[in-house]
Structure 1
Amino acid sequence: MAFEFPQFHEPISINSSSSWTATFDSYDQRNDDCYFLITVREGEDRVTQFMAAVGLWWADDDWSDLKFTDRLREALASVAATGQSNTNYRGLQGN
């Protein structure tokens, strides 16, 4: 079975009024970076959407375990909390 990057479709709290979700966009094997499209919401309203890059230098060989997913979620949460992209890459769809 091929590996699939986790998706974060259920809202994750940033603070009492805002949350984020993230959808996998792509993986750059040469640089060992993955890219996710983050959506930030205030309640039910979408506030902003931007690309996030996460370097995977920290990952072990087994990306299917929960430690990988937890660390990835933490990295994405850090970017989501800033409210802005941390990369010039705009995604496969040019978002």
Structure 2
Amino acid sequence: MNSSICCCIPLPKVLSVAADNAGMNKIQAQTLLESADAAAMADVSTKYGYYDPDSKEHGDVYWRTFIHKLAQQAPHMKLPDLMELTHS
């Protein structure tokens, strides 16, 4: 996963997803973060042909995709909460 994760980014709400994530466990949170990371890297690679974690342009695309994926799957959770759950 991208090592420059900022744990202070709140996830935007996605109104079309009404799932209650209060019961998410550690494995589900880890899987969600890994899936969002893979989707973000794939999106950057598709757009630019490769993924450079030090590139601002790549980072912007990465974070938009990463946060969007998390917001779709866990609209009621914030990134710090997911990170804390994965490290519990």
TM-score above 0.5:
no
| Higher RCO (CA 8 Å, separation ≥ 6 residues) | 2
TM-score between both structures, scaled by the size of structure 2? 0.42
TM-score between both structures, scaled by the size of structure 1? 0.40
